[in-house]
């Protein structure tokens, strides 16, 4: 069993649940069929297992260092990224006309997941580069694209995103970095950026920063932010590298996990002119950034799933091979010990991991499929509908795996017991890595506010309605299947509560109170969405069983996980929805002194 991917599950999701075949039949993805997809994923798995996985623990224990002059990273990282680059994977999701592989996003997302599961610290670099290039492709002008896209798609230059500053993390309206036109169409960038993943390194030939900054005289707040390309080394008009662009590394952050990707504090233009070029129009920087953020956020969710998956596969393997203890009914101390997978609570923890991890994987795979469907849709109404689904599911895809796949990692440690708590085993590392995901790309609370304050109400509830339609379709199908019809009804009831709660909350005109319990709403909404996706998986598994494929274990396992989710997980949403609907103000009205009495 591979420790970084269950290929059978990937195939199940892509072909049996989310109908990748239909996408492969379109002109856009004409170069791909099942065989090609399999070959691509085989290559990815081989590189991930040979180059990414073996150095994951070493990279965690030997994080990048900065000697005041230069960043040092263990050499295995560059070797791994060289192999990744040589396979052409930097360009996987990009159009052929740009030199890309034009891979369905569902496949490139699976591919990225395999590398992330193997070594999240290394996988961060290509992920950020692709996100950067993606934004440039959408909003850059021809000159910018010609100059920057090819080396990024070839994996010679890496990309970053520079939003946060020491005083402005979640509060982007307080960004202070300045960009002043120099009279020659260039901008001089000055300011400090914080938490920049991949912000400096010694691997790529150049680093292309996407920087949010203010052009003086613009509006206050987020409406005055513009977006700039700011390379570490200046780029001549022929694409060759020029002078150093005066971006100083002020220091690396030392994180609990995610230690493999450098995370930097950068000073722009502190010791000389730092040149940037404006992307698109002035003051529209945040909207451009948000274009990329939907994908970046789903990718954060995918990262959380992959840390969860790594722990699930490892702890499953351990539980299958570690003898310890006996069943409660066995009173003979001289009877042989059983493998710990025989213990009910170990099974429960494995089942919870399966339900969270494979549920989360289905969520991010579905979102990736929506992006593909948008790319091939020729009907504007349908395109808009797919966009609405993405809008409402993005906060879920980012947040739900962050919370529940972290919980999965907690279970993985528990299954290994004392061993799991040591650094000799990888599961504690996955747990440390995963804790980041509540924080970056919008904190957990911000996604709750986004969901309850904006997404469920946007366009007269159109996004919520679009979601209801697809859920309804799954319920209708599942009602025809004996072993699933009860779950279909339970899902319908939970979705009604989800809607009613949104309506009740919208009824107050105190916006602070309306959003006071938005996080509880986000959690419960996520559970309803994942219950739906488990029902969808259950339906596909039942179909697979009926077709008598000889894979009864796989399909029965899926149906059991579906049952687990409906019995052990979904019922909790009623408590949460009731709390949110009660507009409870216990926390909101607490004053600072009351917490400790001083």
Active-site annotation, residues: 441
* CB closer to a second copy out of 384 and 439: 439
Q: Which of 58, 176, 347, 483 binds a second copy (CB under 8 A)?
A: 347
Task: Give the interface size with a second copy as a residue count (CB under 8 A).
Answer: 112
Cα distances from 30 to residues 25, 366, 377, in angstroms, run 6, 21, 15
Q: Which of 279, 350, 412, 451 binds a second copy (CB under 8 A)?
A: 350
Residue 570's closest CA among 487, 469, 503, 502? Answer: 487
Judge whether 56 and 121 are in contact, CB under 8 Å. Answer: yes
Q: At what angle do helices 285-321 and 427-434 cross, to 10 degrees?
A: 160
DSSP 457-500: THHHHHHHHHHHHHHHHHHHHHTTSHHHHHHHHHHHHHHHHHHH
Q: Using the rule CB under 8 A, give the single segment among 85-93, 95-103, 115-123, 572-580 that binds a second copy.
A: 572-580
Minimum distance, C-beta of residue 58 to a second copy, in the bound complex (Å): 14
Q: How far is CA 319 from its chain centroid? A: 28
Told to check if 351 binds a second copy by CB under 8 A, we report: yes
* CB closer to a second copy out of 123 and 316: 316
* CB closer to a second copy out of 137 and 428: 428
Q: Which helix (H) or strand (E) holds 195?
A: strand 187-197
Q: Dihedral sign, CA of 524, 526, 527, 528?
A: positive
Minimum distance, C-beta of residue 500 to a second copy, in the bound complex (Å): 17
**Which residues lie below 8 Å from residue 497, measured CB to CB, with a gap of 6+?**
573, 574, 577
First CA to last CA across the chain, in angstroms? 56
Minimum distance, C-beta of residue 404 to a second copy, in the bound complex (Å): 13
Query: Would you give the binding string for a second copy spanning residues 192-231, x where CB under 8 A is met?
Result: --xx------------------------xxxx--------
Could you give the CA distance from residue 24 to residue 33 in angstroms, rounded to a whole number? 6
Q: Which of 57, 98, 439, 481 binds a second copy (CB under 8 A)?
A: 439
Q: Using the rule CB under 8 A, give the single segment among 81-89, 179-187, 232-240, 560-568 that binds a second copy.
A: 560-568
Q: Which of 346, 388, 475, 535 binds a second copy (CB under 8 A)?
A: 346
Q: Which of 49, 250, 556, 583 binds a second copy (CB under 8 A)?
A: 556
278's torsion region: left (phi>0), alpha (psi -120 to 50) or beta? beta
Minimum distance, C-beta of residue 324 to a second copy, in the bound complex (Å): 5
Using CB under 8 A as the binding rule, the residues of this chain from 357 to 386 that contact a second copy are none
* CB closer to a second copy out of 388 and 413: 413
Q: Which of 51, 438, 455, 527 binds a second copy (CB under 8 A)?
A: 438
Could you give the CA distance from residue 537 to residue 535 in angstroms, rounded to a whole number? 5
Told to check if 431 binds a second copy by CB under 8 A, we report: yes
Told to check if 454 binds a second copy by CB under 8 A, we report: no
Angle of CA points 433, 436, 442, to nearest 5°: 150
* CB closer to a second copy out of 24 and 361: 361
Q: To which residue do tokens 């040589």 refer?
A: 86
Judge whether 14 and 20 are in contact, CB under 8 Å. Answer: yes
Could you give the CA distance from residue 565 to residue 562 in angstroms, rounded to a whole number? 5
Using CB under 8 A as the binding rule, the residues of this chain from 22 to 51 that contact a second copy are none
* CB closer to a second copy out of 142 and 424: 424
Using CB under 8 A as the binding rule, the residues of this chain from 235 to 274 that contact a second copy are 253-257
DSSP 280-292: SSTT-HHHHHHHH
Using CB under 8 A as the binding rule, the residues of this chain from 277 to 336 that contact a second copy are 313, 316, 320, 323-329, 333-334
Told to check if 568 binds a second copy by CB under 8 A, we report: yes
Minimum distance, C-beta of residue 92 to a second copy, in the bound complex (Å): 26
**Which residues lie below 8 Å from residue 238, measured CB to CB, with a gap of 6+?**
none
Using CB under 8 A as the binding rule, the residues of this chain from 6 to 25 that contact a second copy are 6, 8-9
Using CB under 8 A as the binding rule, the residues of this chain from 490 to 519 that contact a second copy are 511-512, 514-519
Q: 579: burial class by Cβ within 10 Å (0-12, 13-18, 19+)?
A: middle
Q: Which of 271, 476, 485, 575 binds a second copy (CB under 8 A)?
A: 575
Residue 99's closest CA among 51, 139, 45, 156? Answer: 156
* CB closer to a second copy out of 51 and 563: 563
Told to check if 449 binds a second copy by CB under 8 A, we report: yes
Structure token pair of residue 127: 């992920």
* CB closer to a second copy out of 248 and 578: 578
Minimum distance, C-beta of residue 524 to a second copy, in the bound complex (Å): 12
* CB closer to a second copy out of 104 and 198: 198
Q: To which residue do tokens 């402005």 refer?
A: 168
Using CB under 8 A as the binding rule, the residues of this chain from 395 to 424 that contact a second copy are 410, 413-414, 417-418, 420-424
Told to check if 588 binds a second copy by CB under 8 A, we report: yes
Judge whether 252 and 64 are in contact, CB under 8 Å. Answer: yes
Using CB under 8 A as the binding rule, the residues of this chain from 137 to 196 that contact a second copy are 164, 167-171, 173-174, 194-195
Could you give the CA distance from residue 377 to residue 383 in angstroms, rounded to a whole number? 6
């Amino acid at each position: 069993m591979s420790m970084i991917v269950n290929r059978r599950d990937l195939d199940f999701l892509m072909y049996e649940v989310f109908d990748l075949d239909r996408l492969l039949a379109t002109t856009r993805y004409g170069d791909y069929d099942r065989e090609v997809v399999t070959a691509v994923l085989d290559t990815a798995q081989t590189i991930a297992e040979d180059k990414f996985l073996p150095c994951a623990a070493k990279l965690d224990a030997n994080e990048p260092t900065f000697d005041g002059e230069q960043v040092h990273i263990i050499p295995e990282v560059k070797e791994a990224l060289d192999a990744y680059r040589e396979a052409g994977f930097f360009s996987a999701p990009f159009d052929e006309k740009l030199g890309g592989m034009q891979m369905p996003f569902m496949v490139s997302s699976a591919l990225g997941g395999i590398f992330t599961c193997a070594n999240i610290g290394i996988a961060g670099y290509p992920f950020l580069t692709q996100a950067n290039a993606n934004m440039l492709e959408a909003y850059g002008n021809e000159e910018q694209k010609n100059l920057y896209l090819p080396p990024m798609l070839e994996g010679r230059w890496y990309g970053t995103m520079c939003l946060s500053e020491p005083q402005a993390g979640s509060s982007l309206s307080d960004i202070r970095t300045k960009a002043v036109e120099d009279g020659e169409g260039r901008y001089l960038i000055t300011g400090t950026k914080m938490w920049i993943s991949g912000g400096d390194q010694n691997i790529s030939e150049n680093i292309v920063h996407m920087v949010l900054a203010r052009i003086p005289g613009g509006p206050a707040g987020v409406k005055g932010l513009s977006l700039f390309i700011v390379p570490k080394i200046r780029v001549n008009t022929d694409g060759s590298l020029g002078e150093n662009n005066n971006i100083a590394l002020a220091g690396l952050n030392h994180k609990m996990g995610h230690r493999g990707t450098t995370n930097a504090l950068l000073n722009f233009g502190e010791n000389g002119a730092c040149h940037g070029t404006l992307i698109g129009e002035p003051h529209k920087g945040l909207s451009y950034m948000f274009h990329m953020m939907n994908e970046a956020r789903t990718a954060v969710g995918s990262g959380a799933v992959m840390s969860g998956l790594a722990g699930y596969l490892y702890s499953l393997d351990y539980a299958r091979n570690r003898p310890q203890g006996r069943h409660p009914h066995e009173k003979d101390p001289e009877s042989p010990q059983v493998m710990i997978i025989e213990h009910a609570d170990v099974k429960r923890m494995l089942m919870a991991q399966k339900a969270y991890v494979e549920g989360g994987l289905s969520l991010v795979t579905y979102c990736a499929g929506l992006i593909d469907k948008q790319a091939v849709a020729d009907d504007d109404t349908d395109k808009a509908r797919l966009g609405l689904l993405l809008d409402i599911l993005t906060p879920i895809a980012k947040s739900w795996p962050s919370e529940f796949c972290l919980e999965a990692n907690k279970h993985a440690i528990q299954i290994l017991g004392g061993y799991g708590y040591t650094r000799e085993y990888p599961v504690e590392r996955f747990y440390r890595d995963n804790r980041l995901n509540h924080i970056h790309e919008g904190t957990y609370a911000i996604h709750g506010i986004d969901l309850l304050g904006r997404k469920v109400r946007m366009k007269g509830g159109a996004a919520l309605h679009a979601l209801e339609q697809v859920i309804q379709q799954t319920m209708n199908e599942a009602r025809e299947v004996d072993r699933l019809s009860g779950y279909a009804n339970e899902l319908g009831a939970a979705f009604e509560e989800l809607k009613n709660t949104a309506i009740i909350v919208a009824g107050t005109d105190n916006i602070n109170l309306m959003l006071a319990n938005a996080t509880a709403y986000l959690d419960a909404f996520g559970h309803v969405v994942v219950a739906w996706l488990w029902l969808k998986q259950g339906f596909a598994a039942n179909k697979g069983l009926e077709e008598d494929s000889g894979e009864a274990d796989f399909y029965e396992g899926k149906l059991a996980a579906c049952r687990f989710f409906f019995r052990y997980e979904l019922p909790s949403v009623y408590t949460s929805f009731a709390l949110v609907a009660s507009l409870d103000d216990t926390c909101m009205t607490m004053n600072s002194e009351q917490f400790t009495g001083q």
